[in-house]
Amino acid sequence: MSTIGHWSEVDYVVVDVEGNGARPPELVELAAVLVEGGRIGPPRTWLMRPPTPISWQARKIHGIRNDDVAECPPVDDVAEEICEVLGDAVPVGHNVRIDLDVLTRSLPGWTPARAIDTLRLARKAWPLPSHKLAALVAHRGLADGLPDGLTPHRAEYDALVTARLFVDLATNGPESRTAAALFEAGGITLAGEEPEPELKLFDGIGELG
């Protein structure tokens, strides 16, 4: 994959996961949004039954109940389908290392070499009091026109607004950005770095994203 050209010449997949509150988290919901040719595609979502029940703390954040996933497949049953959607596109997410940690444990065959973190990009782009996803959605109007029924802290909503945030960051400014510039400003590798400290997967109500 070359990063020399315009950012839109690289394929990206924006991911967002919701977990069950275990330590480490187990996958309950995943949304993936492809960004190809600079265009945001439709979201793909999966609900899964985790091996450990969803904790009340996790349920208070995303609203997914154990009854909601009782008849859903375990991640192993849909892992191949998920991997086909993710493909070899560059993963993107808000504090993306958290999503990568859950996904690489849940999908052993999926091992991207690097990813792009919109939290890092946003911190460099805009001097705001907070760079949590909710604050950026309000600052940039990223939820405008989303389909009815989508709510924050559910994977589809968070992945869609993060995809919009990523495209906004990639196109913001007087000059078109190269893929290399995005990797330099917001890229991470899968080894040797810790998650950004501002966000954690379950650090209290209203704190995620």
What whole-number distance in Å separates Cα of residue 47 and Cα of residue 60? 17
Residue 185, classified by CB atoms within 10 Å of its CB into exposed (0-12), middle (13-18) or buried (19+), is: middle
User: Are β-strands 114-117 and 27-36 bridged in parallel, bridged antiparallel, or unpaired?
Assistant: unpaired
Read off the tokens for 157: 């909503």
Model pLDDT, residue 109: 87
CB-based contacts of 127, cutoff 8 Å, min separation 6: none
| Predicted pLDDT of residue 205 | 31
Question: CA 33 to CA 142: how far, in whole Å?
Answer: 15
pLDDT of residue 203: 37
Q: Per residue of the chain (209 residues), give pLDDT as tens.
A: 555 689 999 999 999 999 999 999 999 999 999 999 999 999 999 999 999 999 999 999 999 999 999 999 999 999 999 999 999 999 999 999 999 999 999 999 899 999 999 999 999 999 999 999 999 999 999 999 999 999 999 999 999 999 999 999 999 865 668 999 999 999 998 765 555 554 444 333 332 34
Q: Is the pTM of this model over 0.95?
A: no
> Could you tell me if 64 and 18 are in contact, meaning their C-beta atoms sit under 8 angstroms apart?
yes
Residues near 36 by beta carbon (within 8 Å), at least 6 away in sequence: 11, 12, 89
Question: Encoding tokens for residue 97?
Answer: 């290392």
CA atoms of 47 and 153, how far apart (whole Å): 14
Q: With CA atoms as reference, report the closest residue to 209 among 115, 71, 98.
A: 98
What is the predicted pLDDT for the residue at 197? Answer: 53
Q: Are strands 12-19 and 90-93 parallel, antiparallel or unpaired?
A: parallel
